[in-house]
Amino acid sequence: MIRNGIEIEDSFAEAFGMNATRLVITALNPRWARIAAETMTGFATSVIGCGAEAGIERELSPDETPDRRPGMSVLLFAMSGKDLEKQVERRVGQCVLTCPTTAIFSGMSSEKPVPLGKNLRFFGDGHQISKLIDGKRYWRIPVMDGEFLCEEMTARRSAVGGGNFLVLARSLPQALAACEHAVEAIRALPSVLLPFPGGIARSGSKVGSKYKALMASTNDAFCPTLRGLVDSRLDAEVGAVLEIVINGLTEADVSEATRVGIDAVCTLGADSGVIRISAGNYGGKLGQYHFHLRELMA
């Protein structure tokens, strides 16, 4: 399959099941809402080393938030419900409770509850106060700038993590420019997260390593400097490969984000230096979700 001079390989991205939640952070103004959201979702590129994959979904206007203040919607993904609960409590407690003027609310509902302010209320040292509004409990925790308002519970749902595609280009600047274009297009979509820095990963991985202590290691088949030393997937004209990893609340969300991202790259054409699009998979043995590139782009 050729799109605008760029080859789309007959390959598939392999993704796996995760748990996810959406939280709404509000503040006195958009600046402080963003600071809290960025701090809370920091160090969250991969569950391999960070415990969670998290990021900002979108900015919210005052008429979209429970307390009618500017806000940010954030998504958090973890491998299990228990892991997600730990990450929510730690990140909210250390990064949102501490941030001037903020409040936090659940951004989704389900039959799978996750504590939000339920335990954080104890920071109030007995001075915390609860309010029950429309069947939801909220906690008012005294802090030095007034009160920290937080909803008692949020919720989690099954989600999909690890969708991806690879951009193979003649040079690193060309691969980076193409991926930046794809990231911009994908971030306009709801319910998806690009967890790596700027939405782009340079260190694509494979399962396993020659070192027994490591569960993942560099994807040597796509490393240009290892061409000739390993069973490389790169021909001589490829100078750099970058990866876009996609998490979504549903399989359909990941499919649409993959399609939109690849389409954005292909609109640049072969003159952009992009040679082809591929994907990372492990022979179908790791994850139950397979996103076949040519089927998505047909």
**Could you tell me if 132 and 241 lie in one domain?**
no
Q: Are residues 139 and 180 in the same domain?
A: no
Statement to judge: residues 131 and 177 lie in one domain = no
DSSP string, 135-170: TEEEEEEEETTEEEEEESEEE-EEEEEEEEEEEEES
Domain boundary among 130, 157, 184: 157
Q: Within this chain, do residues 10 and 78 fall inside the same structural domain, yes or no? A: no
> Which string of b and e fits 126-163 if b means at least 16 CB within 10 Å?
eebeeeeeeeeebbbbeeeeeebbbbbebbbbebbbbb
**Among positive and negative, which fits the CA dihedral 37, 39, 40, 44?**
positive
Dist CA 116 CA 119 (whole Å):
7
Quick one: pLDDT at residue 210? 92
Residue 284, pLDDT score: 84
Kindly state whether residues 231 and 205 are assigned to the same domain: yes
- For position 123, which CATH number holds? 3.30.70.520
Range of the domain at 150: 18-157
Helix (H, G, I), strand (E, B) or coil at 199: helix
Identify whether residues 126 and 206 lie together within a single domain. no
Q: Are residues 139 and 220 in the same domain?
A: no
Based on the domain organization, do 64 and 176 belong to the same domain?
Answer: no
Same domain, 81 and 145: yes
Q: Number of folded domains in the chain?
A: 2
Same domain, 46 and 113: yes
| Closest by Cα among 231, 140, 152, 195 to 15 | 195
CB 297 within 8 A of CB 11: no
The verdict on 99 and 135 lying in the same domain is yes
10-residue mean pLDDT profile of the chain (298 residues): values are 96 97 98 98 95 97 98 98 97 98 96 96 97 94 98 97 97 98 98 97 92 92 95 95 98 98 98 97 88 96
In whole angstroms, what is the distance from residue 189 CA to residue 125 CA? 41
* DSSP structure class, residue 236: T
- Which of 129, 157, 185 finishes a domain? 157
Q: Is 48 found in the same domain as 9?
A: no
pLDDT value at residue 285: 80
User: How confident is the model at residue 283, as a pLDDT?
Assistant: 84
Q: Which helix (H) or strand (E) holds 120?
A: none
pLDDT of residue 138: 98
* pTM summary value: 0.94
Domain boundary among 138, 157, 176: 157
